[in-house]
């Protein structure tokens, strides 16, 4: 993903797609990108196909307060596999065309019904797997989910809250163990 400076060239070339968006004001994702406006070049899929797949990804893994940008990474991953694998391209292209042009603007109920009817197809399974693999693996979404990622570089959580839960009673030592390095060892 990059700032949308390539838009003119893409519009001129016209053949393949471009996804664009603007991060919501105050989005935590703004920390990770140089500009709130973003654009994603598609190497193989058209803009229409990209938009449909973005809507599919949002329907599969809906998080209303999450920007489009991390979902666009899903489209990027799908586009990338379609660019090197003709079978993957055909699968996506046929799947998207089966959903129809109205999918992007349809209500969520309609989108869910449309996907429900293709739930067992290789197209859906493939897009679902890529959605989960890409969306939830992106550091762009860690803050949204409260996930802290790797902690080795910070010394782990031994002295940083691995046992700071207070809404349940403490575990008796016999079922637990001493916290070495925290003065109780």
Partner 1 sequence: MPSIQQHDSNAVVIIGSGAGGGTLAHELTRRGIKVVLLEAGARQSLASFSQVPGEAFAQLTWLEPRTQSGTTTVAEDYPTLPSWTAKTVGGTTVHWTGMALRAQPWEVRARTTYGAVDGASLIDWPVEYEELLRYYQMAEKRMVVTRRNGNPGLPASNHFKVFHYGAKRLGYKQVHTGYMAINSRPTDGRGLCIQQGFCVQGCKTGAKWSTLYTEIPRAEATGNLDLRAECRAVRIEHGADGRATGVVYRDPAGIEQRQKARVVCVACNAVETTRLLLLSESARYPNGLANSSDQVGRNFCHHTGCFVWGVFDKPIEFWRGTTLAGVVLDETRHDPKRGFAGGYHLEMAALDLPSIALAGLPQTLWGRELGFVMDHYRSMAGIYVNGEDLPRSTNRITLNPALRDPFGLPVANIHVDDHPNNDAMRRHGQQQGKLMFEAAGAIKVVMSRQTPATHNMCAARMSRDPKDGVVNAHGQAHDVANLFVSDGSAMSTPSSANPTLTIVALALRQADYIERQLGTRAI
Cβ closest to partner 1, residue 86 vs residue 129: 129
Q: Does 74 bind partner 1 (CB under 8 A)?
A: no
Q: Does 183 bind partner 1 (CB under 8 A)?
A: no
Q: Does 60 bind partner 1 (CB under 8 A)?
A: yes
Are 34 and 28 in contact, with CB atoms under 8 Å apart?
no
Q: How far apart are CA 185 and CA 174, in angstroms?
A: 14
Tell me how far the alpha carbon of residue 181 is from its chain's centroid. 38
Q: Does 85 bind partner 1 (CB under 8 A)?
A: no
Minimum distance from residue 110 beta carbon to partner 1 (Å):
13
Q: How far apart are CA 159 and CA 161, in angstroms?
A: 6
Q: Does 168 bind partner 1 (CB under 8 A)?
A: yes
Q: Does 87 bind partner 1 (CB under 8 A)?
A: no
- Name which position in 115, 118, 140, 183 contacts partner 1 (CB under 8 A): 115
What is the CB neighbour count within 10 angstroms for residue 25? 7
Minimum distance from residue 15 beta carbon to partner 1 (Å):
31
CA dihedral 152, 154, 156, 160 (to 10 degrees): -170
Q: Does 174 bind partner 1 (CB under 8 A)?
A: yes
């Amino acid at each position: 993903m990059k700032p949308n400076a390539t838009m003119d060239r893409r519009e001129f070339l016209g053949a393949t797609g471009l996804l664009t968006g603007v991060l919501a004001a105050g989005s935590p994702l703004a920390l990770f990108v140089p500009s709130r406006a973003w654009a994603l070049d598609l190497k193989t899929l058209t803009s229409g196909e990209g938009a449909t797949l973005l809507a599919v990804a949002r329907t599969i893994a809906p998080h209303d307060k999450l920007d489009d940008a991390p979902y666009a990474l899903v489209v990027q991953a799908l586009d990338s596999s379609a660019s090197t694998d003709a079978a993957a391209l055909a699968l996506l292209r046929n799947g998207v065309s089966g959903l129809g042009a109205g999918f992007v603007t349809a209500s969520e109920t309609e989108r869910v019904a449309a996907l429900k009817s293709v739930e067992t197809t290789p197209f859906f399974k493939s897009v679902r797997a890529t959605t989960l693999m890409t969306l939830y693996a992106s550091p762009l979404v860690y803050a949204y989910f409260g996930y802290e990622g790797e902690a080795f570089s910070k010394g782990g959580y031994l002295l940083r809250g691995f046992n700071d839960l207070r809404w349940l009673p403490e575990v008796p030592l016999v079922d637990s163990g001493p916290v070495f390095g925290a003065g109780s060892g």
